[in-house]
Structure 1
Amino acid sequence: MTSTTDRPAIRTTREPSWWDRQGDLIMRRPFNEWTFTHMNWLMPTERVARSGPHRPLPLSPDPLDLTYRFADADHTLTDLHRRTFTTAFVVLHHGEIVHETYPGAFAGPRTRMQLFSISKSVTSMLVCIALADGAIGSVKDRVTDYRPDFLGTAYDETTLAELLDMTSGVGEPELWDVPDSGIKRFEQAVMGGGDVAGLIRSAPRTAAPGEHFNYSTFDAQILGWVLEAATGTTLAEYAAKRLWRFIGADRDAYYWLTRARPRTALGAGSLNATPRDVARLGLLMANDGVADGIQIVPREWVRRSLGSDLPQLAVGSLGPSGYPHYGYSNQWWTLGDSAFQAFTGLGVHGQYLFVDPSADIVIVKCSAWPTQDDELRDLETITALRRIADHFA
C-alpha cells in the first residue's frame, strides 16, 4: 500500500490559462495601441447608430505652442504626448476644433477609441435623460426597484444616488495589480464568459451606504443594468435613440459586450467612439446639456456633475480610492475650486474627456499607458489640460 506521503499532490487550483489572461494581453504595451482601436475585432459588439443630421465641427487650427510646468521643468504638448503615450488629442474652443493630433500608430479622426470608464460618465448622462423621460422615477429609487435579482445582496437597499456618487459602501478597492481582486475577476468574467451579474451580487458590504467614496466599476455597471430594465431597451439602443442622434456625430459608436449570454454592454467601460464624437459629448456638457438648440441633458444634471455638496466627495477628500487632486460627483471626476469649475471623465490607461464650461473648452485625450493607473502621469496630464484651458480663458 502506498503511503500518503508518496502520493502525488492533488492540485486544488489551476494555473491561469491564456483565456483567463486576455485582459492582461489586450492591455499590454505596445499591443494596446492596436487593441484600443480594434475592440470590435476582439469582442462581440452592439452598434450605437448615428441616425440624426451630421454636423461637422468647425476647424480653426492653432499650433498651441505653449508649455506647462511639471516636476520643476517646462514641457511642451509634444512632450506630454511622448511622456503619457497619447494616441489621440482634440481640443475644442467655442465649439471649434482649435487643435488636433493623432500620435497613435492606429489612430485618426475616424478611428473609434476604447474609452474605458469615460463610459461611466456617458451612462450618467443617459440615466439623467431616462429620469427626464419618466422611465426612472427618482435617484432615490433603489436598485431592487428595477433589478429584483439584487434582493438579499449587499446592494439590497442601495439608491441610484449612491451608485452615481460611488458611495454604495459595497465592494473593495479596485486593485488591478492583484490577480484575484474583484476588478480582475470582473475582467475575467466579462472576457472569459463568466457570470458577471453573479460576481457583482456576491460583492461584500464594506462600509455604511452614503458615508464614504469607493471608486466602483460594480456600482456603474449596475446603473447601466437599471437603465436597461427601466427603459426596456439595451444600453446601445437607448444611447442611439436619446443621445447619439442629437450630437451630429461623425460615425456610429459601439459597445462591446460580455462573452457570456445573455450578452450585455458595460455601462461601466465598453463604449468606443471617435475622438471628435467624444468631444461632442463634452460640448453638450459644456453647453448646459443643449445641442443644436435642443435640451438633451437637463441643465440641473450638468450642474450636479460640476461637484457635490457632500464633504466626502470634495476635491482632496476621496481617500485611498481617488487621487488628491480630484473630487467626485455623478460619475464625473471634479476639479472645482472657487476659480476653476472643470470636470472630467476618466478611463484607465489614460483616457480623458475634460470639460471647462467657464473657458468653453473641451479636451479629449486618448492614451495607451503601460498600466491601468498611474498617479504621476495623471497629474501631469491634468496639469497640461488646465494649462490649455487657462490659455484660452
Structure 2
Amino acid sequence: MKRKLLYLTCSLLAVALVAAAINAQTLRRLYHTVTLFDDDVIVGNFSNMDQLFDAVTIDASAPVTVFGHSPQPLPSEFQHDGTPRVTRDFLADTNTTALLVLKDNDITFEEYYRGTNAGDRRISWSVAKSFLSALFGVAVAEGSIGSLDTPVSDYVPSLKGTGYDGVAIKDVLQMSSGVRFDEDYARFNSDINRFGRLMALGGSLDEFATTLERERQPGTYLHYVSIDTHVLGMVLRAATGREITDYFNDKLWSRLGAEDSTLYLVDAVGEPMVLGGLNMRTRDFARFGSVYLNNGFWNGQQIVTPEWVAASVTPDAPHLMPGERDTSDLSLGYGYQWWIPEDADQEFMAIGIYDQFIYVNQKAGVVIVKNSANTHFTEDNFSSMRETVSMFRAIADSVATSGDQDTSLAAAQQ
C-alpha cells in the first residue's frame, strides 16, 4: 500500500512539475509577446527571436554563393514628394539595423547599425510571404498544384464552411480572399493581435484560419490578410504531401548558397509561421532577392520559373494596381505576395512590418535589403514606407549611373 501511495505521489509530482514547466514556458512567451516591440529591447529581440519563441532551424547545406565587392557611398540625400531628405538621417529616423545594396553580384554598400552585425539572423516579418510565394511557384511548375483557379478548400477540407470555402488559390495569393481580418496592430482585439496571443499562449494556426469569416466577394478587393499566407501553406502541404520546412529546404534554401542557417518560428504544434516567421542574415535576404532579380535563375540553376516570377510581380486586375483606389490599404500594387510601387519600372518589393524590405530593380540590376526596428512605421499612413521607396530609387539610380561611368571609363582607357 505504501509503495502504491509513493508511486502515486511521485507520479502526481512529475505531472505537477511538467505542468509548472509548461506554464512557465507559456508565461515566458506571453511576456516576450507583450514586450517584443518595446523601444529598449526591440532591436535585440529582432535579432534573437529563437531565444524568445519556439523555432526550427534549417541548416545551410550548399557551398556559399560569394558576392563580389565594389564599394560605393550612398547618395547623401534623396527627394521625396519634392522635399530633400538626408539619407543618413532617414536611416536613423527609421531605426535601420542593416542596409545592403547589391548591384548584379557585387555588394556596393553594406552597413550594420544599432549594435547589430552581419552575423545576426533578423526576423523577416511579412517578407517571408514572398519566400512562400516562390515555393508555391515551384509546386505549380512541378505539377503538384494544377490550377490557381482551384478553391483552397478542395486541397484543405477543414476550410469548408469557413471564410475560405470555395475561394480560388489565386485570390488568396493576391490578398483578395474576401475574408474579414483586422490587421490593426494598435488595437488589442484585432485579428492580428489575436494571432499574436495564439503564438504566445499556444495554439494551432491551422485552427485559427478556420475561425475567419467572409466579408466580400473574393477577387474583387485588395485587403491585406496575413492568414491568407498561412492558408497557402496549408494548401502547399496538402498538394505536395510534405512538411513546409522540408520542402523549403529542398526547393529553395539548399539552392541559394546561403551563408548561414535560417530559422522558422513555429506554433504550438510545430507548424512554421510562413506568414512572417523566417529569420536569416541580411546577405541571405539579398540572395533571395537575387533569385527574382535574375528571373528565377541563381547559383547556376533555375530555382523559380521566369513565368512565375513575372506573374508574381504583375498586378492583373484593377483592384491590384498601384495608385489610389477605393480600399483602406496602401497605394502599392500587389501580385503573388509581392508589392509593386507606384510608377514602377521593373521594380517590386517584399515588405514586412517595422520596415523590413527586399527591393528589386531589374532594370538597374539592383537588390536592396533594409532591416529595421521602426516603431513609428504606421504613422501618417505608413509614410516611412513611401519615403523608403524614394530612397531605394535614388540609391538604384546612383549605382546604375556609377556603373555606366565605370564602363565608359574602361572603354576610354582601352
TM-score (norm 1): 0.90
Q: Which of 111, 115, 129 is matched with 1:120 structurally? A: 129
Letter in 2 for 1:104: R
> Aligned in 2, Cα 1:321/1:309: closer, same or farther, shift over 3 Å?
same
Letter in 1 for 2:346: Q
Please state whether the residue corresponding to 1:117 is helix, strand or coil.
helix
Query: Match for residue 196 of structure 2?
Result: 187
Correspondence 1:327-346 to 2 at 5 A: 327-335=333-341, 337=343, 340-346=345-351
Letter in 2 for 1:265: P
**% same residue:** 32
Report the alpha carbon displacement of residue 62 of structure 1 after superposing the two structures with TM. Answer: 1.1
Q: What 5-or-longer segments of structure 1 have no aligned partner?
A: 1-16
CA distance in 1, matches of 2:238, 2:395: 41
Report the alpha carbon displacement of residue 30 of structure 1 after superposing the two structures with TM. Answer: 2.6
Query: Match for residue 263 of structure 2?
Result: 254
Report the alpha carbon displacement of residue 212 of structure 1 after superposing the two structures with TM. Answer: 0.5
CA distance in 2, matches of 1:389, 1:167: 31
Letter in 1 for 2:360: V
Correspondence 1:14-163 to 2 at 5 A: 20=30, 22-70=32-80, 73-105=83-115, 107-163=116-172
Letter in 2 for 1:353: I
Moved over 6 A (4+): none
Query: Match for residue 170 of structure 1?
Result: 179
Does the 8 A contact of 2:377 with 2:383 survive in 1? no
Letter in 2 for 1:355: V
CA distance in 2, matches of 1:24, 1:388: 36
Query: Match for residue 372 of structure 2?
Result: 367
Mean Cα displacement is larger for which, 37-46 or 224-233? Answer: 224-233
Bigger Rg, structure 1 or 2: 2
Report the alpha carbon displacement of residue 320 of structure 1 after superposing the two structures with TM. Answer: 3.9
Report the alpha carbon displacement of residue 145 of structure 1 after superposing the two structures with TM. Answer: 2.2
Correspondence 1:256-275 to 2 at 5 A: 256-258=265-267, 260=268, 262-275=269-282
Q: Tell me if 1:292 matches 2:299.
A: yes
Report the alpha carbon displacement of residue 336 of structure 1 after superposing the two structures with TM. Answer: 5.3
Report the alpha carbon displacement of residue 309 of structure 1 after superposing the two structures with TM. Answer: 1.9
Q: What 5-or-longer segments of structure 2 have no aligned partner?
A: 1-26, 401-414
Query: Match for residue 229 of structure 1?
Result: 238
CA distance in 2, matches of 1:243, 1:19: 30
> Aligned in 2, Cα 1:369/1:319: closer, same or farther, shift over 3 Å?
farther
Does the 8 A contact of 2:292 with 2:360 survive in 1? yes
Query: Match for residue 252 of structure 2?
Result: 243
Letter in 1 for 2:340: T
RMSD (Å) for aligned C-alpha atoms: 1.8
**Any idea what the Cα deviations from partners look like across 1:33-63, whole Å, max 9, x if unmatched?**
0010001111111122211221211111112
Aligned residues: 372
**Any idea what the Cα deviations from partners look like across 1:334-369, whole Å, max 9, x if unmatched?**
0253x6121100000110010011111100000001
**Any idea what the Cα deviations from partners look like across 1:113-153, whole Å, max 9, x if unmatched?**
00000000110001001111222222122212221111111
Correspondence 1:347-386 to 2 at 5 A: 347-371=352-376, 373-374=378-379, 375-386=382-393
Query: Match for residue 395 of structure 2?
Result: 388
Query: Match for residue 283 of structure 2?
Result: 276
CA distance in 2, matches of 1:203, 1:359: 42
**Whose helix proportion is higher, 1 or 2?**
2
Mean Cα displacement is larger for which, 349-358 or 134-143? Answer: 134-143
CA distance in 2, matches of 1:208, 1:190: 29
